[in-house]
Amino acid sequence: DGTAASEPSPPPAKKARKEEPPPPEDTRTPEQKEADEFKAKGNELYKKKQFAEALEMYGKAVEKEPNDLMYQNNRCAVWIEMGEEHYDKVLETCRDLVSRRYEINSANPGGASFEKVA
């Protein structure tokens, strides 16, 4: 018949699996880790609209890390959700943070800062 049998083609080359890089080293202080735990609990409570309880958790985070803007921001978000009668606390917090902006920036190298926000 004169037709040559074709050879089977080789299987496709397997893609090399990329190894996942190791997770970055956790350089947070024990206080930062504890504050993050309070924030996580506060976030869960906030999602459930349990604002008084969320406020308590964010308050504990602020006590552990008073110079971290994230915890302050979350606490202000709760006060806003709670209504106009709490707006004075939001303004007071904002004024306090602005007055301490240089102290806060130097306390958070690589973290949230006023320069990054603005």
39-71 pLDDT tens trace: 999 999 999 999 999 999 999 999 999 988 999
Inside any domain, residue 92: yes
CATH number of the domain within which 35 lies: 1.25.40.10
- Cα 89–chain centre separation: 23
pLDDT at 6: 66
Number of separate domains in the chain: 1
Q: Residue 34 in contact with residue 2, Cβ under 8 Å?
A: no
Q: Domain of 52?
A: 30-108
Confidence of residue 118 (pLDDT cuts 50, 70, 90): very low
The share of the chain scoring above pLDDT 70, in percent, equals: 80
Inside any domain, residue 21: no
Calculate the average pLDDT of the chain.
85
Provide the 8-state DSSP code for 111: S
Reported for 79-86, long-range contacts at CB under 8 A and 24+ positions apart, including other chains, are 79/55, 81/46, 81/49, 81/51, 82/51, 82/55
